[in-house]
């Protein structure tokens, strides 16, 4: 069979950790993949010397990829190839996760928590397929090496709030977290979403000490493996941490389940930490149930399943009966954004 040509269409730095396991599997199958950056939010120094990167849309169009993998929400229709949504996180509770933006031929879902809903939407819209594959980023999660962030044996708390102004806990929990850091009872790792308000990042950066590190790296797997518990709100990283059978404290989660220790007020945080560090059997069982619904695959082979799903469509086995909508307005906006006006 002729070698396949693939494209990674990215707009945020978190895309590297998501797509590199997929890139590794593409190379293992002796196929080719190029990256393309849309917008100005990606640090191009993150590319490795052996990674192929296009600089212009003209190069992408001339390349004629067989399929394009997108961890973001949008890819314009003038980019050739099957459009594949692989998602930028596991958190399905966020507004917009199930919004159909008329961009994708295939949704590669992670587990029953999302597959069932997207299957319903595929029956409604009839222009995309849904295949449950797992998430490529997690191929490396269960084998990730924990970097040694602290030299003491105190419990380590990872604080990873979302950036959304309506959901983030950063403002409300700041004073309480600052007080806990000052007590030096725990180690703290603080990791912000790339879109977090810079004023709040600055306030937390002032808390850095021997027991508190503000993490700039986009490699979050090593943080998840190292930390004992996590504090968040409605961030996509909650699901990833839960897959490691570790407790998560959330602040006013948009849809709290029994697998979370959800609090309403900042003053409840110290007791919630005690509860998370000594979880009950009921909490442990709830975390395990949720993990099975969210992402049941721990075999490190989600990238292989994604490529097999794409190959199914490339071989003409698409179940959808309608073509992608043309969506002229959205695609005109993308042409303006990318400065591409060839038709």
Amino acid 164: pLDDT = 84
The answer to whether residues 183 and 216 belong to one domain is yes
The answer to whether residues 60 and 77 belong to one domain is yes
The answer to whether residues 74 and 151 belong to one domain is no
CATH code for the domain in which residue 55 is found: 3.40.50.2000
Domain of residue 69 covers 5-140+300-338
The answer to whether residues 36 and 177 belong to one domain is no
pLDDT digits (tens, 9 = 90+) for 229-278: 999 998 889 999 999 999 999 999 988 999 999 999 999 999 999 999 99
The answer to whether residues 120 and 196 belong to one domain is no
Amino acid 154: pLDDT = 97
What is the tally of structural domains in the chain? 2
The answer to whether residues 287 and 205 belong to one domain is yes
Task: Classify residue 205: in a domain, yes or no.
Answer: yes
Task: Classify residue 236: in a domain, yes or no.
Answer: yes
Alpha helices in 75-226 (DSSP H): 112-125, 170-183, 198-205, 221-226
Mean pLDDT of the chain: 93
Task: Classify residue 343: in a domain, yes or no.
Answer: no
CATH code for the domain in which residue 272 is found: 3.40.50.12580
Task: Classify residue 53: in a domain, yes or no.
Answer: yes
Last residue of a domain, one of 278, 294, 310: 294
For helices 170-183 and 198-205, the axis angle rounded to 10 degrees is 10
Distance CA 177, CA 179 (A): 5
> Do the beta carbons of residue 189 and residue 223 sit within 8 Å?
yes
> Do the beta carbons of residue 300 and residue 288 sit within 8 Å?
no
pLDDT at 91 over 80: no
The answer to whether residues 289 and 159 belong to one domain is yes
Indicate the pTM of the whole model.
0.86
């Amino acid at each position: 069979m002729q070698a396949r040509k693939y494209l990674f269409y990215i707009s945020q730095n978190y895309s590297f950790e998501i797509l590199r396991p997929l890139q590794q599997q593409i190379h293992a199958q002796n196929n080719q993949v190029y990256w393309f950056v849309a917008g100005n939010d990606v640090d191009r120094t993150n590319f490795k010397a052996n990674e192929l990167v296009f600089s212009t849309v003209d190069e992408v169009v001339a390349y004629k990829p067989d399929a394009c993998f997108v961890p973001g929400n949008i890819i314009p229709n003038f980019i050739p190839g099957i459009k594949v949504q692989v998602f930028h996180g596991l958190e399905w509770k966020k507004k917009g996760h199930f919004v159909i933006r008329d961009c994708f031929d295939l949704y590669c879902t992670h587990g029953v928590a999302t597959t069932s809903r997207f299957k319903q939407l595929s029956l409604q819209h009839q222009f995309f397929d849904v295949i449950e594959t797992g998430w490529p980023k997690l191929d490396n999660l269960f084998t990730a090496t924990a970097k040694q962030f602290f030299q003491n044996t105190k419990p380590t708390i990872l604080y990873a709030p979302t950036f959304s102004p309506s959901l983030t806990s950063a403002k409300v929990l700041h004073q309480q977290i600052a007080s806990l850091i000052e007590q030096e009872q725990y180690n703290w790792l603080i990791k912000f979403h790339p879109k977090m308000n810079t004023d709040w990042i600055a306030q937390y950066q002032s808390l850095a000490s021997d027991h508190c590190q503000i993490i700039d790296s986009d490699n979050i797997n090593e943080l998840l493996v190292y930390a004992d518990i996590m504090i968040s709100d409605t961030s996509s990283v909650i699901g990833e941490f839960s897959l490691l059978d570790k407790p998560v404290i959330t602040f006013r989660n948009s849809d709290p389940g029994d697998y979370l220790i959800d609090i309403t007020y900042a003053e409840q945080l110290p007791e919630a930490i005690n509860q998370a560090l000594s979880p009950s059997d009921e909490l442990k069982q709830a975390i395990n149930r949720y993990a099975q619904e969210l992402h049941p695959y721990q075999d490190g082979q989600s990238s292989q399943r994604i490529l097999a799903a794409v190959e199914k469509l490339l071989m003409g086995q698409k179940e959808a009966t309608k073509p992608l909508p043309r969506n002229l307005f959205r695609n005109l906006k993308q042409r303006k954004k990318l400065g591409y006006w060839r038709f």
